[in-house]
Copies of this chain bind each other. A is one copy, B any other.
Amino acid sequence: MSDLQKYIDKLNSLDFSKMYEGDFFLTWEKSDDELAATFAVADALRNLRERNISTKIFDSGLGISLFRDNSTRTRFSFASACNLLGLEVQDLDEGKSQVAHGETVRETANMISFMADVIGIRDDMYIGKGNAYMHEVVDAVTQGNKDGVLEQKPTLVNLQCDIDHPTQCMADMLHIIHEFGGVENLKGKKVAMTWAYSPSYGKPLSVPQGVIGLMTRFGMDVVLAHPEGYEVMPEVEEVAKKNAAANGGSYRRSNCMADAFKDADIVYPKSWAPFAAMEKRTDLYGKGDTDGIKALEKELLAQNAQHKDWCCTEELMKTTKDGKALYLHCLPADINGVSCVDGEVEASVFDRYRDPLYKEASFKPYIIAAMIFLAKCKNPQAVLKALEEKGTQRWFQA
């Protein structure tokens, strides 16, 4: 049995019918079956590409990207995913400013979507805004499609919002599944999602939030560790607790990095800004209070500097399960003595995990492509089979 058939069989066992013509906002809005389908399709698309079989399901069409924050990795992952499926990327460049909501969003969303099959948005800077904005866009194009303005409803892919970073966390998760030899091997594994020191300020909360909201669904024991004052959004912690209760794992918070690392199977040490501070910053931006923003930045950098001891050291790594926990990072990491003096991780630890870290990142284009594929194919199994049978070479060899 070919690997592709294995993924198709997997899909046949799952119910993901609501993903067709849907969107991808937050992982916890998706059922277990829907997440499993996303992983299966990501693996299936990679399988086809590795065998030099084209996975284009679009002969023409646009993938619109809208980045409210600088991005190289996610930008290229989205472009790669679109290209893999046959869509041409068009960037909507609105700058980093907080754009107007309401009527303007409704209009712009329609105006860019006449040939758009996908819209990918990254909007993670302002608490309470990014996810809301994505919903506004989806509501606008859904209405536009109903009204006969748009021949198709573009699918939204959340490329990072103020709440979740689903393409990152799903890629992290697929990496874990591969590293541990299958989702069935994850029960009881300990995951340490911990804060780490960084000399820069204002890093988004979407990764730690996305991780605790997703990884608590696989029966793992998830610990979120951070210094006091670096709390994440309480509603996401509620999600993590409910997930853990429902899936036979656990979720707890700690203020001690060593506690989190102790016997961990997986560690994810990464800096982020306190939720409350990000809320405050959003207000200051809203008021255009430049002095306030500068003062807050200074305050936050000083606060960070009190926790330089929160670093993923060799010593800490030794305390993990057999001293060999899987080290995760969304990249780029702040590496001691490489990209900064003191940072999130010691250079020797990072070096040892470079190869798995790059592999972790390599799942992202496939995860994004899978999210699009499931929203665009009524019968994904049949489409995968048809692509294999057609067997168009991606890279022509004579």
Q: Which residues of A contact B (CB under 8 A)?
A: 46, 49-50, 54-62, 72-73, 76-77, 79-80, 83-84, 86, 88-90, 92, 102-104, 107-108, 110-112, 114-115, 117, 144, 147-152, 331-332, 335, 338-339, 355, 358-359, 361-362, 364-365, 376-379, 382-383, 385-386, 392-398
Contacts and interface: CB of A to CB of B under 8 A. Distances in A.
B358 A61 contact: no
B56 A114 contact: no
Nearest to A117: B395
Contact of A103 (B79, B114, B335): B335
A362 B114 contact: yes
Name the residue in A102, A104, A362 with the highest tally of chain B Cβ atoms < 10 Å from its Cβ: A362
A29 to B, nearest CB: 25
A386 B393 CA distance: 13
Contact of A395 (B83, B148, B376, B396): B376
B396 A57 contact: yes
Contacts of A46: 151
Task: Tell me what chain A mostly uses at the interface: helix, strand, loop, or mixed.
Answer: mixed
Contact of A80 (B79, B115, B331, B385): B115
Nearest to A64: B76
A230 B386 CA distance: 62
Contact of A365 (B114, B335, B365, B385): B114
A391 to B, nearest CB: 11
A394 B114 contact: no
Contact of A84 (B60, B331, B377, B383): B60
A203 to B, nearest CB: 17
A396 B83 contact: no
B358 A147 contact: yes
Name the residue in A147, A335, A392 with the highest tally of chain B Cβ atoms < 10 Å from its Cβ: A147
Contacts of A355: 147, 149
Contacts of A77: 114
A86 B110 contact: no
Nearest to A88: B83
A335 B106 CA distance: 14
A83 B147 CA distance: 23
A90 B84 contact: no
6 contacts: A56-B396, A62-B79, A76-B112, A76-B114, A107-B332, A383-B396
A150 B355 CA distance: 11
Name the residue in A49, A58, A358, A386 with the highest tally of chain B Cβ atoms < 10 Å from its Cβ: A358
Given A76-B90, A148-B359, A59 B392 contact: yes
Given A89-B90, A149-B355, A72 B383 contact: no
A360 to B, nearest CB: 9
Nearest to A55: B60
Contact of A72 (B57, B92, B331): B92
